Chain A
Amino acid sequence: MKISVNNHPLDADPHRPIIEALRREGYHIPSMCYAEGYEHQPSCMVCMVKDVRTGQMIPSCSTLPYEGMELETDTEEASSMRREALELLLSDHRADCEAPCTIVCPRGIDVAQVILHYDRGDMAAAYTLLEGTSCDGCKAPCEKACRRRTVDESVPIRRIIEEVRNVSNGQTSEKSLHSDDENVSQASPIAHGPLFSSRLGRFTDREKEMLKKLYTQSSHCLHCACEGRSECRLRELATEAGIRSPRYGVQSSLPVKECVRVTERLYFEPAKCIRCGLCVYNTSDGFTFAHRGFDVRVVVPEESKKNVHDDVARLCPTGALHLRILSVLLPLLMLLWGCQGPSRRMSGTPGEDVARQEWTSFRGDASLSGYATCRLPDSPTLLWEHRHGVRTVASPIVSKGIVWLCDKHGHLVGLNAEGMPTHSFNLNADVEASFVMVDSVLYVGQIDGQIRALVLPECTELWHYATEGQILASPTFVDVHMGEGTSDTFLLVGSYDNNMYTLDARTGTLAHSYPTGYYINGAAACWQGAYALFGGCDAWLRISDIRSGLLTDSLRLDAYIPSSPVVSGDCAYVADYQGNVYEIQLADDGHIREHHKICDAGDSEGGMISMPTVTADAVYLLADGRYLVCLDRTDGHVRWRQMLRGDVGESSPLAVGDRVLVCTKTGIVSIYDAASGRPVWEYETGEQIVSSPAVVASRFYILTARGTLLCFGQKKWDTLF
């Protein structure tokens, strides 16, 4: 079929879009939403040419030729229309091509890449990038330009580079230093090069909050630089069109810096997407469009991720879809999973997260204090209940919106916010101990003495460690400073083989174990992220240094210790089986400075198998069989004392904001005002309760021994579903 292009005749296949013929003839027609041989729909409109006969601008990627067609491709009109399309696309593209730190570096270091390698633990690669360039005498404009600075504070770039240098010094021979700064800066292609560089712009306050939560690895780096920048056609075409900054500014409705892991290696960043649809049209039941108009976005439902192949990344004209090299470090892998950073669980101070969404261990954190600053609903109502029907002793936990319970036979169930079971696994072993979940890894101790780490959502085993006796207490997950700004994660767990084990949480290898004189029935509390406090049936309370495993101090109590010690500030509290409660003041080096009884078993009627609960100024105890007692921490006097309905048991109270939540063994859940002791709310479950409640923002969960999980919260239309 004969057509004419810019007044030159051209032979075109009548069944193929004209772009093919044009490109074959050497006409330069840019395009983004078109990939030869793949399913596509015209959307980007950067391949516009003019049909002279109709006077219309037409997308050449989808228009079929007709006899006598006359096209113009190189007129001012056509190129300005393409440029307009590009500028409109750029105005909805909220991303950095290059990281600001790299752009401003006067010595031409690809700072962003160095930090990326550093975060992935690849010090050698990071070191090579430095090429021996020194930072001496530099005023560090990188730290001033750092995007993180607009969120909270700059990434410590100089310190990181120093560290990279020090760690790799022994392995790589250092090249001679460049002394002439001018030469280096000219060598940097980015700083003064002609490439277009898109800018992220300012963050809103909400985005800042979100970014703080999302990017919490040790460098704090937001990783602004686009991983797909070298192959980004948007950048290439913008550069070609000579665009410096988009005429319409940048205003996007897409969430900035959000990144979805699609497959093992494939990542999707919606804010960089131009909605061309190539990934949508070329996967079946994978990527799909959602919403319409300006708000249209590409999404991939969780369950459809399995239908996506890594190849689709090649089709993406921007850096929105890109493949990442597998990281060597597991923690980082966990971090990228669902883009949620590890929340640092340091012991010592009570949980500070007001809007807490996570309750990852039976007491909420490693201090075991049982104090949470969030608020209980004003008038809680039962939102839903799930009847599991099997005896369950372990306390429920909440992680990533899923509440987990594990019955005595090791059947692990995850329920979503509506109370619908979404996960179900069988551990094939009896479980009575509560469990811990950190960054999608579940740590659980079993009756058969095994401690296992399982990676969700598939529940594949990461490691296991066998002890010689049954495990009845929850493991404690701690993040310990190892000096020089590094930290390591450990799991502390006591067994009926009389040992307290300290395991490397990542690998499950034994760091050290401490033999005690008898069974260990409770969990270890962590103080200052460095010391572990644990009691046992030999009536000794011990304090050990987690790093070295050495005992720093110990204290013999009047009777054996059935539960766990708790820590708040510089004080620890522990109860013995007779009902004595001790307050122990700790010194910085892990020694006991002073100790005394704040509650004497002499005037009580029964033992105490639950844990004290400690807030900044008060201690709450379940004492004398059926009383909730509030003691003043400053002088030890009883502030108030309330008789509970029903007998107390193992379930320990929780102090939540200005309320105290307590479950009796008889099955009554009640809330008391912390200041006055006035009962505020009560609910009768009709079933025995031995586990501790789990509290997240605006909701709390109670699990009965018969396996009924009750979710309480504020009845509200939008949170209900």
Chain B
Amino acid sequence: MACEHCKTSSPDEARQSIRKRTDALVARVGRRREHIIPLLQALQGEWGYLPSDALERVYETTDIDRAQAISVATFYGQFRMMPYGRHTIRVCCGTACHVKGANVVYDAFRRELDIADDSATTADGAYSVERIACLGCCALAPVVQIDNRIFGHVQPGRVCEVLKEFEASHGEAKGEGLSDRGLPQGEVRLGMENCCQASGTAAVREAVERACRETGIRVSIKPVSCVGACSQVPLIDVVTADGQVTRYPNIRPDEVKEVLLHHFRPASRLRRLAAGIWGTVDTFHTDQTWDSILYLPEELRTRRINDFLEGQFRISTEGYGLMNPLDTDEYVRQGGFEALRRALSVGRQTIIDEVMRSGIRGRGGGGFPTGRKWQLVADGVDEEKYVICNGDEGDPGAFMDRILLESYPLRVIEGLLIAAYATGARRAILYIRAEYPQAVIRVRRALEMCRRQGYIGQHILGSSFSVEVSIFEGAGAFVCGEETALISSIEGRRGQPHLRPPYPAQQGLFGHPTLINNVETLSQIPFIVREGADAYAHVGTSGSKGTKVFALAGKVRHGGLIEVPMGTTLRQIVEEIGGGMENGEQLKAVQTGGPSGGCIPASLCDTPVDFDALTSLGTIMGSGGLVVLGENDCMVDVARYFVAFVSGESCGKCTFCRVGVRRMLDILDRLTSGRGTMDDIDRLEHLALSIKQASLCGLGKTAPNPVLSTLRYFRHEYEEHVHGSCPTGSCRQMVVLAVTDDCIGCTKCAQCCPADAIPFTPYERHTIDTARCTLCGLCMEACDFNAIIYENKRQ
């Protein structure tokens, strides 16, 4: 139980204590109706759920009434009315994780923890398991978060191991402990984003610290902004006193000490001697030493990462792998806040004109010219104006905004300040998604530092410009990425979009003109203002200027965060930057734009990527998730996945989105379970077109895109499903697992089967009892002879 207190005292006392603690939270957060989301978040932070007594107290002491609390608490995915287990396991179901088998992982956790069908929590109350839309660590798919720790590449077979690892660490996430010491002997740089930590950088960091203690080498450990090469982590850069940088990708913790000894001299003679002796002895008595990363030639060691980094162009992610995300001095040394200074000196209109001339378009998905938006808000006559940075990146398969906020918070803040100055806003809000706790922590610290150094507050940099910046944490609703829904949510209401016009630029937050820009858009602004519109417009295509940050994930060999000039082709991205397909699969399609986008078939992957080209292909740029799909991915299943996602995330206001999307899902469910008819395909297309045309907001209008684009390019796959076969075996209701003649009867599969569906028959070809089989796929992994395959049910 969340509250230890309840166990020991009488219900009456427990209630009193809840009321008292609630009062304290209310006093801290506020009592107006718009405070409801932060208030509920505070209550949930205190108890792990929303206790009814605490809510009663809220009704008594604040302007919030029962109706509002119920409507808000049930709308946002974050809030729970029931106590959860002591630890929460969140299985990411983002696109990349989905195609890599997130559902099987979810089932595996439930099975391993023996959770009853109607419950989310183990009988002893230790763990609760839930699915989550996307954790934004797509390159590590399948990803699982236990409390605040991220685990990457969690295959169903590793579930047990992950739980053990978590328990061994006592469930504590390691603190960050950013150090900002100088350069005693040298420096070790490593990325400390959430995803890097999950893939082993945390262990490497510990190894560096241990090695320093043992050898007495004095190096400073510098957490730096994300390099983006998620397949190459743990990655460290060793910087010696003379400034020379050596890069070690994929380093193991046991190699760290040797690398350090290679670059630095231990502190004392004695230690040097000891290190020398042990090094020599080691060389002879283990064979591990010879595979060490040190002995790899430079070319071999860093070729992949160099390929990955080549062809990229850095605007938003300038200073990758180099800058401490939270060091303002360093940011200023690299040219930070220069743009803000320039803006303050040249005046509002000049800046707006400059942004207009640069041709930058909104990176959130719509592609509306940013300059025009700014002008609209600047023209508003209201005294009170707002600027909001939209960091509610909910698309499964996208994590650009998270990395930008975690790695380059100062750049985003600078962009936000310039926007506030240009539009005349006095209040700026960073709306950050609840699922990104690390981003919230970093941005909060960055804001504190900026405030201390006079970049935020009254009379910024000695000018007459004053602005207050605050953070608003989203509460788990994808639809809040839509700007009118985002405003509703800040105002303390359900995240339901409104009909536009009026546009937020005319009548937004609390009825005042409001500028809403995406994180990435704002992070490009400092470059435009500093280097000039022409320098920016020089990059990109005629209709789409500048660069675009993409989250590259799926069946690509080297996924990660990339920034490329507009107009780069998808094939370049997949083949050159991503290093081609994983496991030698054939490229089938690239999914862009998340649930609002569509699938571009391999044959059209030579199209240069820009807003207009993608729209003409039936998809959208979206916020920038690129999920690479291979020949083993079923397009009907992918379409169903997105429609199911939108169906759960729709706000439920207008008929077409609420009921229509659900009916699309019903039809897709029929198709993916082999019960579909040809009529269903036509009905699906008709319905999709109606929804596209008649929905109220962007979410509904774009929700049919995954269906329409797959129907357009992969209609034959739909037809195959009607005829009863799913060629890729992705649609689990249509396939069974079968054993081929390659089976030698080794019993490995029988041993690992959690459902006892494979009888233990040594030296005989195994059989699978399809009635018992849960299609978890553990046997396929266990089989060394690839003798277990998916087979269509009807064959």
B11 CB contact (under 8 Å) in A45, A92, A288, A418 = A418
* B663: Cβ under 8 A from any A Cβ: yes
* Known contacts A57-B693, A291-B75, A299 near B70 by CB under 8 Å: yes
Over the window 358-391 of chain A, the binary record of Cβ atoms lying under 8 Å from chain B Cβ atoms (1 yes, 0 no) is 0000000000000000000000000011110000
CB <8 Å contact, A293 and B494: no
Contacts of A59 in B (CB 8 A): 499, 696
Bound Cα distance from A294 to B649, whole angstroms: 9
Q: Is B268 an interface residue (CB 8 A)?
A: no
Does A721 lie within 8 Å of B83, measured CB to CB? yes
Q: Is A106 an interface residue (CB 8 A)?
A: no
Residue of A288, A386, A387 ringed by the most chain B CB atoms within 10 A: A288
* B interface footprint on A257-297 (CB within 8 Å = 1, 0 otherwise): 00000000000000000110100100011111111111110
Beta-carbon contact of A288 and B70 below 8 Å: yes
Indicate if the CB atoms of A43 and B11 lie closer than 8 Å.
Answer: no
Taking CB atoms, residues of chain A closer than 8 Å to B654 are 42-45
Are A293 and B649 in touch, CB under 8 angstroms?
A: yes
Within the assembled complex, what's the spacing in Å between the Cα atoms of A59 and B700? Answer: 14
B662 proximity list for chain A (CB < 8 A): 92, 293-294
Tell me whether B270 is interfacial, beta carbon within 8 Å.
no
**Minimal beta-carbon separation of A318 from chain B (angstroms):** 13
Q: Are B74 and A292 in contact (CB under 8 A)?
A: yes
Cβ of B655 and Cβ of A85 under 8 Å apart?
yes
- Is residue A675 within 8 Å, beta carbon to beta carbon, of the partner chain? no
Tell me, in angstroms, the Cα distance from A289 to B659 when the chains sit together. 16
A248 within 8 A of B: yes
B648 A293 Cβ-Cβ under 8 A: yes
CA A303 to CA B69, docked complex, whole Å: 13
CB < 8 Å neighbour of A88 from B11, B118, B660: B660
In the bound assembly, the distance between CA atoms of A42 and B696 in angstroms comes to 8
Asked if B693 and A295 sit within 8 Å, CB to CB, the answer is no
Q: Determine if B663 and A88 form an interchain contact, defined as CB atoms under 8 angstroms apart.
A: yes
CA–CA, A92 and B662, complex, Å: 10
With a CB–CB cut-off of 8 A, which chain A residues contact B649? 292-293
Let me know if B82 and A718 touch, CB within 8 A: yes
Closest A residue to B652 by beta carbon equals: A296
CB distance from A158 to the nearest CB of B (A): 40
Partner of B66, one of A57, A301, A420: A301
> Is the pair B11, A384 in contact by a Cβ cutoff of 8 Å?
yes
B158 to chain A, nearest CB (A): 27
Which B-chain residue is minimally distant from A296 (CB atoms)? B652
Give the residue of A63, A275, A418 whose beta carbon is less than 8 angstroms from that of B658: A275
| Option from B498, B499, B650 in Cβ contact (under 8 Å) with A292 | B650
Residue pair A48, B694 in contact (C-beta under 8 Å)? yes
Over the window 111-123 of chain B, the binary record of Cβ atoms lying under 8 Å from chain A Cβ atoms (1 yes, 0 no) is: 0000000110101
A230 sits at the interface (CB 8 A): no
Contact flag A303-B666 (CB < 8 Å), given A293-B651, A420-B15:
no
Scoring B649, B653, B683, B690 by chain A CB atoms within 10 A of each residue's CB, the highest score goes to B653
Q: Tell me the smallest distance from the CB of A560 to a CB of chain B, in Å.
A: 42
**What is the CB-to-nearest-CB distance from B195 to chain A, in angstroms, rounded to a whole number?**
29
Contacts of B258 in A (CB 8 A): none
Interface residue? A454 (CB, 8 A): no
Contact of B647 with A by CB under 8 A = yes
CA distance A717 to B1 in the complex (A): 8
Name A285's closest neighbour in chain B (CB-CB): B65
A294 touches B647 (CB 8 A): yes
1/0 per position for A71-107, CB-CB distance to B under 8 A? Answer: 0000000000100110011011000000000000000
Nearest Cβ on chain B to A46's Cβ, whole angstroms? 8
| Chain A CB within 8 A of B300 CB | no
Contact A63 B652 (CB under 8 A): no
A717 adjacent to B71 (CB under 8 Å): no
Q: Which residues of A contact B683 (CB under 8 A)?
A: 247
Complex CA–CA separation, A286 to B477 (angstroms): 24
Query: Interface residue count for B (Cβ, 8 Å)?
Result: 53
Picked from B67, B498, B663, B693, the residue with its CB within 8 Å of the CB of A287 is B67
Question: Does B501 reach chain A (CB closer than 8 Å)?
Answer: yes
B474 smallest CB distance to A (angstroms): 14
Q: Does B656 contact A (CB under 8 A)?
A: yes
B11 contact set on A, CB distance < 8 A: 384-386, 418-420
**B655 and A44: CB pair below 8 A?**
yes
Q: Residue B656 contacts which of A88, A277, A287, A717 (CB distance < 8 angstroms)?
A: A88
Contact (Cβ within 8 A) A57 B694: yes
CA distance A717 to B119 in the complex (A): 9
A288 to B70, CA, bound (A): 7
Of the candidates B496, B647, B655, the one whose C-beta lies within 8 Å of that of A89 is: B655
Q: A81-B690, A385-B10, A721-B82 are contacts. A293–B650 as well, Cβ < 8 Å?
A: yes
Neighbour of B67 across the interface among A275, A285, A294, A418, CB < 8 A = A285
- Does B53 sit within 8 A of A, measured CB to CB? yes
- Distance A59 CA – B659 CA, assembled complex (angstroms): 17
B125 at the interface (CB under 8 A from A): yes
Instruction: Determine whether the beta carbon of B655 is less than 8 Å from that of A288.
Output: no
Q: Is the CB of A56 within 8 A of B696?
A: no
Q: Does B68 have its Cβ within 8 Å of any Cβ on chain A? A: yes
Shortest CB distance A631–B (Å): 40
What residues on A are CB-neighbors of B71 within 8 Å? 288-290
Q: How far is the CB of B102 from chain A (nearest CB, A)?
A: 20
Chain B nearest Cβ from A677, distance in angstroms: 31
In the docked arrangement, what's the CA distance between A717 and B648, Å?
Answer: 26
Digit string of B342-357 for contact with A (CB within 8 Å is 1, else 0)?
Answer: 0000000000000000
Which B residues, 599 to 658, have Cβ-Cβ distances below 8 Å to chain A? 647-656, 658
Q: Could you give, for residues 374-412 of chain A, a 1 whenever the CB lies within 8 Å of some chain B CB and a 0 otherwise? A: 000000000011110000000000000000000000000
| Minimal Cβ-Cβ distance residue in B for A41 | B653
A113 within 8 A of B: no
Given known A-B contacts A84-B694, A293-B647, A275 and B656 have beta carbons under 8 A apart:
no
Asked whether, in the complex, the Cβ of A285 is within 8 Å of the Cβ of B66, the reply is yes
Min distance, Cβ A82 to any Cβ of chain B, angstroms: 9
**Bitwise interface map of B from 37 to 79 toward A, beta carbon under 8 Å scored 1, else 0:** 0000000000000001100000000000111101100110000
In the complex, what residues of B have CB within 8 A of residue A284's CB?
65, 67
Q: For residue B689, give the distance in angstroms from its CB to the closest CB of chain A.
A: 10
A42 contacts B499, CB within 8 Å?
A: yes
Residue A64 at the B interface, CB < 8 A? yes
Q: Does A424 interact with chain B (Cβ within 8 Å)?
A: no
CB distance from A77 to the nearest CB of B (A): 9
Residues from chain B with Cβ under 8 Å of A288 in the complex:
66-68, 70-71
Q: Are A84 and B67 in contact (CB under 8 A)?
A: no
Q: Nearest residue in B to A84 (C-beta to C-beta)?
A: B690
C-alpha spacing A299/B71, complex, angstroms: 9
Name which residue of chain B comes closest to A77, CB basis. Answer: B693
Whole-angstrom CA separation of A96 from B66 in the bound complex: 32
Least distance between A590 CB and chain B CB atoms (Å): 48
Minimum CB distance partner of A83 in chain B: B690
**A43 touching B655 in the complex, CB below 8 Å, given contacts A85-B694, A285-B65, A285-B67:** yes
Q: Would A45 and B119 be within 8 Å (CB), given that A291-B74, A292-B477, A299-B70 are in contact? A: no
Question: Which residues between 1 and 43 of chain B lie within 8 Å of chain A, taking CB atoms?
Answer: 1, 10-12, 15
- Cβ distance B688 to chain A, nearest Cβ, rounded Å: 12
A94 → chain B, closest Cβ, in Å? Answer: 12
Instruction: Tell me, in angstroms, the Cα distance from A92 to B121 when the chains sit together.
Output: 32
**Which B residue sits closest to A291, measured CB to CB?**
B74
Report B596 CB to chain A, min CB distance, Å.
16
CB of A41, distance to nearest CB on chain B (Å): 7
A293 vs B699: C-alpha distance when bound (angstroms): 12
Residue among A57, A92, A286, A289 with the highest chain B CB neighbour number at 10 A: A289
| A84 to B689 Cα, complex, angstroms | 11
Q: B663 contacts which of A46, A248, A419 (Cβ < 8 Å)?
A: A248
* Inter-chain pairs besides A57-B694, A293-B651, 4 sampled, C-beta below 8 Å: A42-B654, A84-B694, A89-B655, A89-B659
Could you show 11 A-B contacts with beta carbons less than 8 Å apart? A81-B690, A88-B659, A247-B683, A251-B666, A285-B65, A288-B66, A288-B68, A289-B494, A289-B652, A294-B658, A420-B53
Closest 10 CB pairs between A and B? A296-B652, A288-B67, A285-B65, A88-B659, A294-B662, A293-B650, A290-B74, A288-B71, A285-B67, A45-B655
